[in-house]
């Protein structure tokens, strides 16, 4: 399943000096960056809206981001209290910032095998049993991205 978002120009305050005529980014560029990234930042918040950010490993596959972590960690506990998160790459010059939600659930055998294979190729670890047991699955609502000083500043919105 491939999710194609709606692209619009990201409107920024005039004081930022963002160009208003640069072309919008293509979603395929963002997908490639998400697939090739080694590490990601996940920001969660607890029920009192106290945020924390943590680096993590994961894979972008078929429009979703798959990852795992110990249920005893603060960020995992936050997911059970508040599934709304921010996921971003660690490149502040050319950012990719996604807002969305995370469901924690087992994957069916077919999806678990696909996620495990991709994780093995990328990191050298991961088994289908691991992902069938429990997986964190991020579904995007929107993505903001640009290059340098707001060149190609684009908002991608996902329906559904």
pLDDT digits (tens, 9 = 90+) for 45-90: 998 999 999 999 999 999 999 999 999 999 999 999 999 999 999 9
Best CATH choice for the domain 6-157 from the list 3.30.990.10, 2.30.110.10, 3.40.50.10470, 2.40.50.100: 2.30.110.10
Mean pLDDT in residue range 106-126 = 96
The predicted structure's pLDDT at residue 133: 93
SS3 content of the chain, % helix, strand, coil (to 5): 25, 35, 35
**Torsion sign, CA atoms 20, 26, 31, 36:** negative
State residue 117 phi and psi, 5-degree precision. Answer: -60, -45
The predicted structure's pLDDT at residue 160: 58
Residue 58, C-beta contacts closer than 8 angstroms, at least 6 positions apart: 40, 65, 66, 67, 138
19-23, 29-33, 104-108, 123-127: least confident range: 19-23
Tell me: the pLDDT tens digits for 15-34?
A: 988 888 889 999 999 999 99
pTM of the model: 0.94
The H or E element spanning position 114 is: helix 109-123
Distance CA 154, CA 75 (A): 29
The predicted structure's pLDDT at residue 2: 60
The predicted structure's pLDDT at residue 148: 87
Could you tell me which residues are beta bridge partners of residue 96? 145
The predicted structure's pLDDT at residue 105: 96
The H or E element spanning position 122 is: helix 109-123
- The number of residues making up the chain comes to 160
- Domain ranges for the chain, please list them: 6-157
Distance CA 96, CA 65 (A): 13
Alpha carbon 112 to chain centroid distance? 19
């Amino acid at each position: 399943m491939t999710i194609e978002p709606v692209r619009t120009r990201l409107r920024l305050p005039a004081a930022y000096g963002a160009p208003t005529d640069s072309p919008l980014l293509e979603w395929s560029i963002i997908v490639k960056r998400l697939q090739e990234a080694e590490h990601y930042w996940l920001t969660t918040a607890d029920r009192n809206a106290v945020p924390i950010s943590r680096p993590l490993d994961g894979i972008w596959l078929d429009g979703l981001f798959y990852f795992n972590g110990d249920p005893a960690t603060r960020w995992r506990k936050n997911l059970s209290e508040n599934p709304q998160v921010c996921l971003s790459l660690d490149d502040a010059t050319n950012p990719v910032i996604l807002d969305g939600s995370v469901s924690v659930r087992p994957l069916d055998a077919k999806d678990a095998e696909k996620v495990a294979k991709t994780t093995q190729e990328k990191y050298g670890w991961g088994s289908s049993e691991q992902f069938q047991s429990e997986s964190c699955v991020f579904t995007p609502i929107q993505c903001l991205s640009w290059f340098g000083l707001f060149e190609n500043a684009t908002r991608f919105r996902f329906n559904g």
